[in-house]
Every structure is written in structure tokens, then in C-alpha cells.
Chains A and B, each alone.
Chain A
Amino acid sequence: MNRKSVVFTFTLILLLILSGCTTVGNQSENGKSAADKKEDRELKIGIPNDIKTFDIHNHNQVLTEAVHINMFNYLFKRQADTKVETELVDTYKLIDDVTWEFKLKEGITFHNGDPLTADDVEFTIERVAKDKTLAEHSNMEVVKDVKVVNDTTFQIITDDPQPTLINLLSRIGSGILPKNYIEENGWDHFLNKPVGSGPFKFVDWSRDNRIVFEPYEKYFEGKNEEWDKLVFRVIPETSTRINELLTGGVDIITEVTPNDIARIDENEETKAVSTPSQRVTILALQHREGYPTSDPKVREAIELAINNEVLVEQILKGEAVAVRTRVTPGNFGADPSLYDTYLYDVERSKELLAEAGYGDGLELSLSIPTGYYLKGDEISQAIKAMLSEVGITLNIEFSEYNRYIELRNSGEFGDMYFGAYGNSLFDASIALDMFASENGEKRIGYSNQEVKELFNSALTNMDTEEREKQYQKIQQIVAEERPFIYLYLQNEAYGIREGLNFKPRVDSMLYTPDITRN
């Protein structure tokens, strides 16, 4: 073989490999969005991270759930207005304090054609309630037993009275799985070719690239006629996500930062929409002896020195609401007097510090994962500047997220840590658990007998009115004792193409049957 033909062959092989490789992903994007073309019935949504898995019980990521709810059903469903209504369940009743009886709707089938029966519910709920290695186990372990009465009727028996059971059954960790399909084919098969009962069925998942669904013809509420195809595209870089929206590569994008809203609004074909989310930002303060923040006066002085309004208006461009609690309106147990309010009094703050013996200044540390929370780095710098006005020198210790979690969970974070938490249960119990559980003691050394009693009583209290009062009382105590100083409730902003009807949801779910074209 002469040299020329060797070179030629080598080039040819390279080209062949290259052309073979271009089959990654199996569809072309023509740059036209659904909103532009009436006949294009493909909805494309740009999301910042890939979903974790199709094991709906083994993750605790809101975005993953936001995608899952298009192909799985819960027994109950949270509506866009945050009220919970029946979904797979037709009727239900409380037999005694710990026994609930449910009847399923008729004619529900999984995407493989199998009917959805009480056996599937038993299989699903018992799995997550018993298997301690699942990420959602801790939220569902209150379920003691599931009893199948007949094909469509079953009972759930809990350890103690469970006022939040219906909420638990409408969130991550309680989507109903196909028992026969999983038992016949195994988990690995299910995770690669998942089957649910929701409005859309699985087509393809190319990791870190795209997740594709299409409507399920036999969906029990009727086939979705609006869309022929549903594509979630993973676009990690914020500016790329926005450019995709501007050029029509996608119809909706999530996680738009406050700074980018103007750019989306300036474009004629796109607009930004936002809604208050469930995510509240906090500073957690060390209560252990030996730390300056163990003195209530120091804690109060810190709260009074921070101007929440400046954080909200200047850094977050108005896309947040100042709060003094994590239980915001729309959540059971909310105390309206702690919403849309903040304390700010620099003079009083200085006095308190002087009374506490820190008139000459005080040095504190704040732990925060860098680049993790929305505008977290800027917010912490602003807080540092605000605290310096009352004589507190704040040393911000940035770390990588995993390291931060370790510091936080072990209580070795220094004086304060910065955090932000959601609440997909829509109940005060998750938001207040920290102040009554071992986690609170271990992390910040906070313990209050009255809070513990109120909390434990509320957890199993079936008297709704009294339970609400118990939660409100805890929030008042916490607002006074300040294990956390609450900063603001974040808005969640989305970018959408004109011509689409899309209302962002408080629970951050991307429930596509609610999205339509004009």
C-alpha cells in the first residue's frame, strides 16, 4: 500500500467515525419553537440539571420531581393554587385515628397496559416506608402497613395519628409504581425503561442531554391533545439557556436569575414570569456555649443590623419577599404576622452589642457554599457590609458544597451558616423539625423544651385548628430566640416564548398538561 492510500484510508476512517457519532441524540432542532408554529406540537423546556433517576423514591430533588410528575401519578395531587385534591384516589375516609381507607378511580392503567390496582399501591408505599436506604424513607416511615381490601380499595395504617398523611401522599416519595412490571423485569430494566400511569409516557433519556416523553393515549383523564412530544433539555449554563430561549431552541427555561430578567423581557418574542417559591433563605446561629452568638443579645443585634429590604430590592431586583419565618402563606401553620416583614434598627443593634460586652467590636464567621445559592455570594458580602456598620467583622468562609454540608451537619461551621430551604410538604412540620429534633441540637446546639412539646404534639394532632396554633406558637418562639435569622422568600423566575400559556407554580413543578398554546 503506498503512502497516499494509507493517508486516504486513515482520513476516510476518521470521517466515518465522525459521521457515525453524529447520531447522538435522535432528533434535529429546527430552531423554531412551539409557540412560533401552530403545527409544531413539540414542547421544549430547558432545565439547568439533569434529573437524578427514574427511581421516584430515591432522590430528594425538586427538579427531578418536576419532570417525573408528567409520567407518574400520586394518590393525591397538589393543584396550581397549592390546594390538594384527589388524583388516583376516588374517595377516602378516616376509619380511626391511625387507619385511612382509600378507593381508587376505575379504569386507570400503566403505560404498559396493566391496570393500576391496590396491589400496586401496597407495593409502592410499603417499599418506601420499609427500605431505609431510600432517600425519601425518612418522610414516609410513619406508614406502618398498607392493607389491600380488594382490587381498588386499600387501607393505610400509620404508627401514630398522621394529620399530614394526605400531603405526604401528594409529593416525592409517593408516586405509584407498576408492581408487576418491576417484579417481572427487575429494577435495572425499570430504571432504563420506566413505566408510570401519568399523562405522558417515557420515550428516551440521554443523560445530561435530554428526556423525551409523548402523550399516553389511554390516560385516565383523557389523552393530552395539546402536545405530540415533550422534551426536557439539560442546559447547565445560564447564558446558554437564555440564548436557547431567545433563538427559539426551547419554549420555556427555568432558573432565570434576577439579572437576566431584563434581557428576556427586552426581546419581543420572549418574556420572564415569576412566582414566590417555597425557598426561604436563612442564617443559622450557633447556640453552643463559648460562641458569641449563644448570647440572645448578639443574635438580636445581628438581625437588627441586616436590612432585608436592601437585599431584596438591590441584589435580588425585587424578586423576593422579606420574611421572619420559613412557613409562608400557602403552607399549613403559616403565621401571617411573620410574612412580608423584617426588623431593622442599627442604633438598637449597637446598644445590644454594647450591653452584651461587645461595644469594642466583635468578630464572627459565616460558612457558605460558593456559587450554590441564588446570589448567595453577593448576599453574604452585603450582610458583611451591613454588620460592619454595627461593629461586627464578618469573616465569610466560602467552601465547596459537599464540604459545607459536612461542616453544617457536624456543627463545625463556626458562628453562622448561610442556607436556603424549600418545603414540598406544604406543612409547617418540615420547616420546624430542625428546632425540635436531634438535627437542631447537633448542628447549632438549639434545644427548647416547650418547642419540642408543641412540635411533637402537633405532629400527631388531628385537631386542625389546634395544630395550626401550635405551629404558630413555635414560630413566635423561634422568631424571639433566633436559632435561625430568616432573610427572604425567593421568587422563582422562568423565561417563556410569547404565545404560550404558562403560569409558574409555587411548588416549582413543570406540569405540562397545564401548559397550552394561545
Chain B
Amino acid sequence: MKYFLNRTAQVIPVLLIVSFILFFLVHISGDPVDIMLSENATEEDRETLRQSLGLDKPFIIQYFIFLTNMITGDFGKSIIYGQAALPIVLERIPATFELMLASIILSTAIAIPLGVLSAVKRNSPIDLLISGISILGKAMPNFWVGLMLILLFSVNLKIFPVSGTGSVFHLVLPAITIGSAMAAQMTRLLRSNMLDVLSQDYIRTAKSKGVKRLSIVYIHALRNSLLPVITVIALQISTLVGGALITETIFSWPGLGQLTIEAINARDMAVVQACVITIAVFVIIVNLIADLIYRFVDPRIRY
């Protein structure tokens, strides 16, 4: 418990640093006023808008105002939408989660049996086949996989909708697009961990005790090989929360990635900040959960 309180307390300075770096970067990238006003706007119009957005104040003052408001959950108004920034960001969370969870479930469901099989049948044709497929899966770029899946399953076979949200069917192709690369990476990782574990003394002991082969592989070896895989999943979740941009664009998926890029392009400081802080909080939570799962998988781990 004490450990988790400690970890939670660490979150605050991390968020402060993240918000400052971000505020500074957006600030030096320039002035949003030019892209907000029409082509024929005069210098006076620009100045008025700058004042009303508080952009005429010194940088540090702007940051301080932002920070004090942020503590109360007020990230300010989005300059694109004219509405409070945080709800705009939060309304993207369901779509982002949906895609993320589906991809992770899919990739885990593929990677665990394939990785185990590959290790157990080391250097057999099956192992070579699985290794080949996973190298291919990792090598194919996301956008290409996405476009090919659309062409095959939506345009030619008409099985799944091309893009958008609304049903489980809409989720299939984007989840495969993200999940295939993840599964490939996890399969490779699991295979090498399994090989390592299978050569350990305790596995030999289990064998000599007459423990069943299946039980050796799935209970003794797999559990001990999963730790690095969990780390990879946790890292992938962190990336996917804000970074599934290409897949989101190809499949018109209204997730956080698209919103973040739009906000950066429009220099919509309030939304950018709300996005990044939301993502940061989420990443910290995922890391905490990953720690919990480590303990569950390997009870030797104590904090």
C-alpha cells in the first residue's frame, strides 16, 4: 500500500514536468491567431484576438494561469471548438479504449499459443513457419496492412464495413491492423523466453518427477516466460492510447490520436494539454497495473 501511495505521489512532479515541456514547445511553435482569422483580417483584429486569448501576456504568466486552472480540472477553452477542453478529450476515451483492448486481446490470443508452439517445436518446420510469419507481421507497415485489409475484406469480399464505428464488425479490421504487428513482436519475445525457461533446472526436475508435458509447458514454463511479455503489453498500451494515429486515420476511428494531431496543428493549447495530461495519467495507471500483475504472475516479486 505504501508503495502505491509513493508511486502515486511521484505522478505529480511527472505531470508538472510534462505540462511545462509541452506548454513550452507549443509556445515556441508559434501563434495560433494567424490560422484562426480570415485571410483579410487586419493587424488590429489579430491583436484583439491575441489579447482575448491571453496570448499577449508573458510566457511564465500564461503558464502559471494555465497551471492554477488545471489543478481544478479546467484546461481552458478549446480554440477550435470554443468549448471546455477536458470533456472534448474525455469523449474520445471510449473509442480509444475499445480499439486498444481489442488489439491487445487479439494479439495476446495469437501470440501465446504461437510463441509456446514455436519454442516447444524448436527448429521444426512449424517453428520456421511461425518465425517467418512473425517477421513478416512486424515488417509490414501499419498503413499498408490497413489498406490491404479494407480492399480484401470490405471492398472485394464485403464482409466488414470499410471504416467508422458503431458495431463489433467495425472493430475487426482496425484491431487486426494494430494487433498483427503486436502479436508478431510478442510471439518472438515469448519464444525466446520460453526457450530460456525450458532449459532451467526446475523444468528438468519437473520432467524427472514425471509431471505431464502439457502441464510443464503451460504451468511451469509459460508463467515464468510471461513477465517480459507483460512489460511489452504495458508499453504497447501506453503507445496505443495516444499513438494509433495512422490506424485511426485509415479507419476513420475517432480516437485520441486524431484529436491530438488536430489540436497540435491548430495550436489548440488547451486541447493539446488536456490530451497529453490524460495520456500521461493513463500511462502511469497502466504501469501500476502492470506492477500488480507482475506480483500475481511471479509471487517472488516484492516491493
Contact = CB atoms under 8 A, between A and B. Distances in A.
B52 to A, nearest CB: 4
Interface string B30-55: 11001111111111010011001100
Contacts of B43: 438, 442
A21 B38 contact: no
B162 A249 contact: yes
Nearest to A19: B168
Given A25-B164, A235-B252, A243-B162, A18 B101 contact: yes
Nearest to B98: A21
A244 B94 CA distance: 24
A262 interface: no
A28 B168 CA distance: 10
A203 to B, nearest CB: 15
B151 interface: yes
A421 B38 CA distance: 11
A132 B94 contact: no
B189 interface: no
Contacts of A237: 163, 249-250, 252
Interface residues of A, number: 62
B229 to A, nearest CB: 15
A138 B35 contact: no
A240 B252 CA distance: 8
A345 to B, nearest CB: 32
Contacts of B294: none
A402 B254 CA distance: 23
Contacts, number: 165
Contact of B166 (A29, A138, A244, A405): A29
Contacts of A58: 82
A44 to B, nearest CB: 10
Nearest to B80: A52
Contacts of A329: none
Nearest to B51: A133
A105 interface: no
Interface string B230-256: 000000000000000000011110100
A249 B101 contact: no
A150 interface: no
A405 B167 CA distance: 41
A239 B144 CA distance: 12
A353 to B, nearest CB: 32
Given A17-B97, A132-B45, A206-B254, A60 B166 contact: no
Interface string A14-39: 10011011111111110100000000
A52 B29 contact: no
Interface of B: 29-31, 34-43, 45, 48-49, 52-53, 80-84, 88, 91-92, 94-95, 97-98, 101-102, 105, 147, 150-151, 154-155, 158, 161-168, 171, 249-252, 254, 258-259, 262, 265, 267, 296
Given A132-B52, A136-B38, A210-B164, 5 more contacts: A28-B167, A29-B161, A208-B252, A208-B259, A406-B34
23 contacts: A14-B101, A17-B97, A22-B167, A24-B166, A31-B161, A53-B80, A53-B81, A133-B48, A133-B49, A135-B38, A137-B45, A191-B82, A209-B95, A209-B254, A210-B164, A234-B252, A240-B163, A244-B162, A244-B163, A246-B155, A247-B158, A405-B34, A442-B43
